């Protein structure tokens, strides 16, 4: 009928007459259609796979976002060797000057704060000059850099909660401008000499390096009170000939206070209160003839006060409460 399409299958018989509007469909065309479809599908999958592979090689996913923080901890890689320190000519000159006062071995240990302080002087500090070189300038700037690397001074500088500290340490400015440092300017050519270091109540942790005061021969006042310092009293504080006022009160210091003989002859005020000191009250304090105030309260000290201490003519205030 008109408008209808009729498929006539031709086998081996004689040819038939195909009417107008009728489509011929033989066996071979029936088999080719699915085959072509599968080929196209496989080719499409292959192309899609190649595109995905190329994208994975050239397009990297964005790393996960994290809050930016300032790293202030000076961690040491304990796999380091002393040879990892780049010993430039400047480094060697500074090291030779420091060895006039310090044991060379502590400067060679890459994990020591001493090595970190020397490395900072050699590689980063642009203020300190080595031609001509001033031994006193090297010793003084190294001493405060040593303090920085022995404590969390860097963290204290950057803490938004501690508004007391507004002039950070280890900058390219003269160290007399750093927070808590007071200098006396000597007209004799020695430049600015540190006389006061006052860092009380800024949540410092760490320990007091033994060489700290040795390298500061003009230091008269040292106030490290109301912090979180640990360790013992370094030997240099027992024998400082310049210290007048020493305040280590309200820290977490421990150990005896008679490990060495006290020979700080110019000491007038000594506060070691609210720590964990133990042992006996040293008789040698009685030799500090200029002492006026002595506060050893809130520790774990035993024994009685020696006659030498009681006979100190200038002693006006003493506190031994437990």
Per-residue pLDDT of 106-134, as tens digits, reads 998 999 999 999 999 999 998 988 888 89
pLDDT of residue 185: 86
Cα–Cα distance for residue pair 185/169, rounded to 1 Å: 20
pLDDT of residue 55: 56
Mean pLDDT confidence for 297-312 = 93
Q: Does residue 148 contact residue 169 with C-beta atoms inside 8 Å? A: yes
pLDDT of residue 41: 67
Mean pLDDT confidence for 249-257 = 97
Cα–Cα distance for residue pair 296/281, rounded to 1 Å: 9
pLDDT in tens, 70-84: 333 345 554 444 445
pLDDT in tens, 135-191: 999 999 999 999 999 999 988 754 544 544 557 899 999 999 999 999 998 765 568
Cα–Cα distance for residue pair 254/150, rounded to 1 Å: 17
Cα–Cα distance for residue pair 158/109, rounded to 1 Å: 28
pLDDT of residue 19: 45
- Token digits of residue 71: 């790293």
pLDDT of residue 35: 62
Domains and CATH numbers, the chain: 1-61 (no CATH), 87-319 (3.80.10.10)
Residue 229's nearest CA partner among 277, 301, 176 is: 277
Convert the chain into a string of H (helix), E (strand) and C (coil).
CCCCCCCECCCCCCCCCCCCCCCECCHHHHHHHHHHHHHHHHHHHHHHHHHHHHHHHHCCCCCCCCCCCCCCCCCCCCCCCHHHCCCCHHHHHHHHHHCCCCCHHHHHCCCCHHHHHHHHHHHCCCCCCECCECHHHHHHHHHHHHHHHHECHHHHHHCCCCCCCCCCCCCCCCHHHCCCEEEEEECCCCEEEEEEEECCCCCCEECCCCHHHHCCCCCCEEECCCCEECCCCCHHHHCCCCCCEEECCCCCCEEECCCCCCCCCCCCEEECCCCEEEEECCHHHHHCCCCCEEECCCCEEECCCCHHHHCCCCCCEEECCC
């Amino acid at each position: 009928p008109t408008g209808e399409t009729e498929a006539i299958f031709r086998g081996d018989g004689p040819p038939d007459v195909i009417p107008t509007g009728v489509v011929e469909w033989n066996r071979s065309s029936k088999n080719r259609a699915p085959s072509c479809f599968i080929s196209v599908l496989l080719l499409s999958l292959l192309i899609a796979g190649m595109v995905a592979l190329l994208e994975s090689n050239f397009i990297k996913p964005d790393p996960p976002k994290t809050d930016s923080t300032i790293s202030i901890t000076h961690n040491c890689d304990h796999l380091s060797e002393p040879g990892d320190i780049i010993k430039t000519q400047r480094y060697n000159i500074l090291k030779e000057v420091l060895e006039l006062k310090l044991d060379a071995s502590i400067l060679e240990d890459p994990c020591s704060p001493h090595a970190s302080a020397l490395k900072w002087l050699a590689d980063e500090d642009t203020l300190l000059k080595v031609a001509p070189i001033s031994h006193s300038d090297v010793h003084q700037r190294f001493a405060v850099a040593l303090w920085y690397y022995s404590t969390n001074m860097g963290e204290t500088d950057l803490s938004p909660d501690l508004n007391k500290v507004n002039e950070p340490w280890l900058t390219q400015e003269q160290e007399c401008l750093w927070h808590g440092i007071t200098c006396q300017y000597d007209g004799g050519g020695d430049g600015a000499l540190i006389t006061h270091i006052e860092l009380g109540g800024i949540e410092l942790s760490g320990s007091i390096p033994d060489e700290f005061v040795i390298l500061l021969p003009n230091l008269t006042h040292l106030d490290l009170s109301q912090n979180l310092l640990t360790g013992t009293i370094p030997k240099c504080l027992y024998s400082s000939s310049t210290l007048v006022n020493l305040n280590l009160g309200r820290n977490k210091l421990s150990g005896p206070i008679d490990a060495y003989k006290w020979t700080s002859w110019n000491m007038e005020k000594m506060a070691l209160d609210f720590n964990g000191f133990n042992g006996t009250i040293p008789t040698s304090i009685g030799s500090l003839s200029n002492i006026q105030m002595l506060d050893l309260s809130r520790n774990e000290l035993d024994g009685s006060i020696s006659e030498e201490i009681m006979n100190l003519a200038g002693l006006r205030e003493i506190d031994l409460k437990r």
